[in-house]
Amino acid sequence: MPLLHIDHLKTYYKTLRGDVKAVDGVTLDVEKGEALGLAGESGCGKTTLALSVIRLLPDNGRIVGGSVFFDSTDITKLDSETYRKEYRWKRMSMVFQGAMNALTPVYRVGDQIAEAILCHEEVEEDEARGRARELLGLVGVDPERASSYPHELSGGMRQRVMIAMALANNPEFIIADEPITALDVIVQAQVLHVINDLRRKLGLTMMLITHDLSVIAETCDGAAIMYAGKLVERGTVIDIFKRPLHPYTQGLVGSFPSIRGARKEMESIPGSPPNLLQPPPGCRFHPRCPHAMDICSREEPPLVEVEPGHLAACWLCEGG
């Protein structure tokens, strides 16, 4: 059994104009010890998938179907008290998108990390402070910085503090949502290095969300591609980059110059993703797909294992 098994998960947001089907039947496994990169254009449901797993959806968001198994337990069925006590922050945690700007400005960063420890473990304050300093060291920030306020730190340091906070209770699984997007290129490389290093040192299982395929190529073992609330492809990094099966993945990989080359947005796929209030029938990518056939606008392609460990949801792959 994989450490995380997401099974036909559907998460919708209620809005005045109807339900936004942000995650609409996603099945995805993350193996123990794997670093999985999750990519897809803005608005395809990456953050919603993560927030569903960590059970921190906004008020109008609901899991309306499917399950999330963590270490064989369906965590969507746990009462919130049990989930909070045994899972969130303890066994699994998350670095939120844009979180480095969410540190509380009036508290020293060491105290904020210590607070995260004290919230979930019964330890003395001094011990929590000591651990906060250790955690800062672990993410490559001078422990003396524990007494700094957030505004005294650079963006890269603040992001490291957020990573330290996510690690405060020794989780085995961590989701990092666009952890380097807001940083400049040199600092991006440094923070990625920290993430890689932590993975090795702590044996973490990880889901790294990014719209930047070069980050996945540099950091991850596996890759999963989402489009308009659906998973369209899943495989190893080599599968996805060397032999992408889904035309959407092919478009993304085609718009991605080279692993070491300049980073750029996914711009080579004409058109834009559909409105998730009323996604198109059949394959959601068909209006933009250069290979669309009749069936693509009528029936949704199932996610099938085309080669061992390499799955795609595309009628071109089905049976072929």
Ligand X SMILES: Nc1ncnc2c1ncn2[C@@H]1O[C@H](COP(=O)(O)OP(=O)(O)OP(=O)(O)O)[C@@H](O)[C@H]1O
Give yes or no for residue 179 binding ligand X (CB under 6 A).
no
Considering the complex, state which of residue 93 and residue 148 has its C-beta at the smaller distance from Mg ion.
93
Q: Which of residues 30-69 bind Mg ion (CB under 5 A)?
A: 46-47
Q: Which of 16, 58, 126, 308 binds ligand X (CB under 6 A)?
A: 58
SS3 assignment, position 18: strand
Q: Cα(30)–Cα(74) distance, rounded to whole angstroms?
A: 15
Q: Which of 67, 64, 78 is nearest to 14 (CA)?
A: 64
Q: Which of residues 260-319 bind ligand X (CB under 6 A)?
A: 276
Q: Which of residues 81-110 bind ligand X (CB under 6 A)?
A: 97
Considering the complex, state which of residue 47 and residue 148 has its C-beta at the smaller distance from Mg ion.
47
Direct distance between the N- and C-terminal alpha carbons of the chain, in angstroms, rounded to an integer: 28
Region binding Mg ion by CB under 5 A among candidate stretches 26-34, 82-90, 93-101, 218-226: 93-101
Least distance in Å: CB of 183 to Mg ion?
A: 16
Q: Cα(90)–Cα(55) distance, rounded to whole angstroms?
A: 13
Name the residue type at position 193. H
Give yes or no for residue 43 binding ligand X (CB under 6 A).
yes
Q: Which of 4, 9, 44, 213 binds ligand X (CB under 6 A)?
A: 44
Q: Cα(45)–Cα(274) distance, rounded to whole angstroms?
A: 12
Q: Cα(307)–Cα(297) distance, rounded to whole angstroms?
A: 25
Considering the complex, state which of residue 138 and residue 283 has its C-beta at the smaller distance from ligand X.
283
Q: Cα(307)–Cα(147) distance, rounded to whole angstroms?
A: 52
> Applying CB under 6 A, which residues contact ligand X?
13, 15, 20, 22, 40, 42-48, 58, 60-61, 97, 211, 276
